[in-house]
Amino acid sequence: MRIAIIGTGNVGGDIARGLRGKGHAVTLGARNPDDAEVKALAAETGAGVAFPAEAATRADLVILALPWGVAEGAVKALGDLSDKVVIDCMNPLGRTAAGMGLTIGHTTSGGEMVAGWLPGAQVVKTLNQVGAEIMAQNAHLPHRPVMFMAGDNDAAKAQVAEMLTDLGFEPLDAGDLTKARLLEPFGMVWINQALFRGKGRNWAFAAVEG
């Protein structure tokens, strides 16, 4: 697959590391393709580099790995992505009365908002449920980590499932895109355990059948 990763921070970088050597043509979408850190990431992962809109236009699959606070402007600047498969791996985090947490929920989700910003695109919510490091490397875990996905198009989810498998995850279909309202709080369970309950970042959820 031709995959564009929009955002070259921790999440985007570790997805690129996880996809290295898996047979995909990966392009990093960066505001400054000449940035030294971006060039170093591209050299490490064997990825190409382009401006975000250019990377998205050339891709079969577009992964949004941006801070939520800048997401709307950055996503809209990608242009017309009609019929493209777009992964939203962002959690709508921000400052709330109770501290850092989800800023929306119950009646909508970040995934649904992204779909509104990209009319015609096939948006799939996934890769929001673990830390970036697990996306780069998870073969050491005793169980295969699970990764839920939500979207309205079965063909798009099948394509995303193929990529999730390449990243080492067991993909499970959570249903239509409204189920992002479940997956975003689920991502907060990982964040709470990892960052606030002392579990650390080297773990993931697994679906264990008996």
Dist CA 33 CA 21 (whole Å): 22
Residues 6+ apart with CB under 8 A from 9: 65, 67
Do 14 and 127 meet the contact criterion of CB atoms below 8 Å apart? no
H helices of 82-205, where?
110-117, 132-136, 154-166, 180-191
pLDDT at 105: 81
Residue that has been written with the tokens 């997805």 in this structure: 15
Comparing CA positions, the residue from 165, 123, 122 lying closest to residue 147 is 165
The tokens of 19 are what?
């996809």
pLDDT at 189: 93
pLDDT at 106: 79
Please give the average pLDDT of every successive group of 10 residues along the chain, which has 210 residues: 97 98 97 97 98 98 96 97 97 69 84 97 98 96 97 98 98 98 94 93 94
Residue that has been written with the tokens 């995959």 in this structure: 3
- Spell 14-47 as b/e; 16+ CB within 10 A means b: bbbbbbeeeebebbbbbeebeeeebeebbeebeb
Complete domains list, the chain, with CATH: 2-196 (3.40.50.720)
pTM: predicted TM-score of the whole model, two decimal places? 0.94
Evaluated on CA atoms 68, 134, 207, 169, the torsion sign reads positive
Residues 6+ apart with CB under 8 A from 176: 150, 151, 152
Question: How many alpha carbons fall within 13 Å on the CB side of residue 79?
Answer: 8
